[in-house]
Every structure is written in structure tokens, then in C-alpha cells.
Amino acid sequence: MDSFSLPEKIDRPIKIACVGEAMIELSFAGDNLDQPNIAFAGDTLNTAIYLKREIKNSAEISFVSRLGTDEFSTSMLAFMNKEGLNTNNITRDANKLPGLYSIMTDEHGERTFNYWRQNSAAKELFQTGGEIDFSPLSDFDIIYYSAISLAILPVNVREAFLGWLADQRSLGNIRVAFDSNYRPALWSGVEDARFWTEKAWKNCDIALPSADDEKSLFGDRDIEQTIKRLNSYGANFGALKRGADGPLPLTPIGELPQFKPAKKIIDTTAAGDSFNGAFLGALLVGAPIKEAMLKGHDCARETVGFAGAFAN
């Protein structure tokens, strides 16, 4: 499968919602804990920003989440707006705060994380006055989310969210993009994570898996087994990310382009998120999947050459 089709009868700029959690990021160089760099990030937020940078004004990119009313939340909104994201569908809760995480990188750019998100406002996304409410998503053509987005939601909201996506897809109203970002600490166990991730794979139009995540979660013996399993769910369009080796399409498309290695690796944070953003951006302006994979890979190559989630 070489191309992607949007919902029919769109007579305005495409509207894309990236759904998830924005967090405060404390990053440290090596083991020096005295002077952290403070920034804002989160997997779907990172993708939203790279998507906006790629697609520019050809589509409206919104981040859909919930924040507090504290100074950090206000600064987050200012940061998102500066990057060109629409933040009209971010609700705020005076009794909650944004999540916080720390990140330390070793000499190879590999990362170690710690998280403090027990009081995160994003955990109450789509919940209003005790009721589940997906009206913030009602005006979008494409919904992008990840397994992290699912994991932070209460089970009843998670189930309702996947049901709402399935209903809207069946009506032809939306297309769904999904990344299975696997974070074991967010799940009660591997079986729980597998259950919900499988449900999500069976309900998406653009699949954005990572080989490492899929192997960790499902125990696939090799890339071929991963792709076969994803295809069995109906996930036939998208790209399997393999880091420096470059992505593979989920169905054969002939000869693949050459994927160059990164010139330098300082920090692998957001490598997959940046790939997703550039890949989606290229697709949505009409590029064939080969070109979109190259765009995504080149964006990730650049991203890992900078500290933090965003290339300067």
C-alpha cells in the first residue's frame, strides 16, 4: 500500500488532533544533578510539534490534553502556541498539575527516565462533571495518539475512547494514527499492555510501531514476525521504525530508499516522535510512503544530534 486517503468531502484545511500528556522535563548532563535544564515535552506533544514544523500552514494541528492552572501549565500553553499549535481543546483544572519527569543521558545518548505524574491533570482528560465527553475531538479529521495516551486514562475512559474512535472510523468521519510507545511502568503488567495495544492496532489507519517496543511487548522473534502480527490486526499501512536501520513499510512497496545514519548522536529523546511528525506531515501533503519514510528518518537523524526533545 503506497498511499493514504483522507476522509471525503473535506473543503477546508485538514484538522489533526494529537492527544496525550504534556509534561515538565528536567534534563541532566551525565550524572550532574545540580543544574537541570527545564523544558516541556511528551510523546504526542513532540509529534505534534514536529508535524506542525513539517506541514506548516497546510493543516491545523491541535494538541488535546488537560493541564493545571499553575505557572508551569501557563508556560506550557505559551510554548505550544509559539510552536504554532492550536491549544483551544486543552482544558484546565485548578486542582491538578502537569506531570514531571527527569531524563539523564549517557555518553552514547541513551536515556534513563524517572516520572512523577500521580497528580497529572491529563489523567482526567475527557472527563467532565463525572461524565465522559469526547466533544473536544468532534471537529477533527485525523486523531493521533499513543499507548501512553491510553495508559494514563482510567479503564472506563480508555474503553470508551477506543469505542468512540471505532464508531467514528466506521462512519468515515476520521482517520486514526497510533504509536504503541510501550512504557511498562504505566501498566499493571505486560498482559494488560498487550490487551489494550492490540485493541488500538485493530482500530487504526496509520500504524507507527517501533521494532524495539513491539519486541519488548509481544516477544516477536524478528521483524518479519512483527509485521505479520500487525498485518493480522489489519494494520497494513504505516512504517515500522528500526532506529539507525531505517523504517520498513508494513506492506511491500518495492525497492526501499537508502536511509543514512545520523552524523552524531547526543540524545535519542524524541527520535521516534520526530519521525512520526515528519512522516505524517509528508503523507498529509500527498507524498508517497517512500518519501514520507525518508522525511521521517531524516528528521529523526537530525533530532538525535541535539539535547532534549527538539532540534533547534
Q: What is the pLDDT of residue 10?
A: 66
Query: Considering the domain boundaries, does residue 78 fall inside one?
Result: yes
Q: What is the pLDDT of residues 43-57, one digit of tens each?
A: 999 999 999 999 999
* For residue 243, pLDDT beyond 70: yes
Let me know if 273 is a catalytic residue.
yes
Determine if residue 265 is left, alpha or beta; phi over 0 gives left, psi from -120 to 50 gives alpha, anything else beta.
beta
Q: What is the pLDDT of residues 168-194, one digit of tens each?
A: 999 999 999 999 999 999 999 999 999
Query: Considering the domain boundaries, does residue 4 fall inside one?
Result: no
Signed CA dihedral, 274, 49, 149, 141: sign only: negative
Query: Considering the domain boundaries, does residue 310 fall inside one?
Result: no
Counted domains in the chain: 1
- At residue 59 the predicted structure's pLDDT band, cuts being 50, 70 and 90, is very high
Q: What is the pLDDT of residues 220-233, one digit of tens each?
A: 999 999 999 999 99
Query: Considering the domain boundaries, does residue 166 fall inside one?
Result: yes
Mode of pairing for the β-strands spanning 127-128 and 131-132: antiparallel
Q: What is the pLDDT of residue 182?
A: 95
Q: What is the pLDDT of residues 264-274, one digit of tens each?
A: 888 777 899 99
Are residues 29 and 105 in contact, defined by beta-carbon separation less than 8 angstroms? yes
Q: Which residue among 205, 213, 267, 273 is the active-site one?
A: 273
The three cell numbers of residue 159 are 474503553
Are residues 197 and 190 in contact, defined by beta-carbon separation less than 8 angstroms? no
The three cell numbers of residue 103 are 531524563
Q: What is the pLDDT of residue 220?
A: 97
Mean pLDDT value across residues 115-126: 94
Q: Which domain holds residue 162?
A: 14-303
Query: Considering the domain boundaries, does residue 298 fall inside one?
Result: yes
Q: Which residue has the higher pLDDT, 118 or 23?
A: 23
In this structure, what CATH number is given to the domain that contains residue 121?
Answer: 3.40.1190.20
For 248, the 3-state DSSP assignment is strand
Q: How far apart are the first and last CA of the chain?
A: 34
> Distance between CA 182 and CA 194 in Å, rounded?
10
Q: What is the pLDDT of residue 223?
A: 96
Query: Considering the domain boundaries, does residue 5 fall inside one?
Result: no
Output the average pLDDT for the chain: 92
Query: Considering the domain boundaries, does residue 228 fall inside one?
Result: yes
Lowest mean pLDDT among 29-33, 134-138, 180-184: 29-33
- At residue 7 the predicted structure's pLDDT band, cuts being 50, 70 and 90, is low
Query: Considering the domain boundaries, does residue 309 fall inside one?
Result: no
The three cell numbers of residue 216 are 519488548
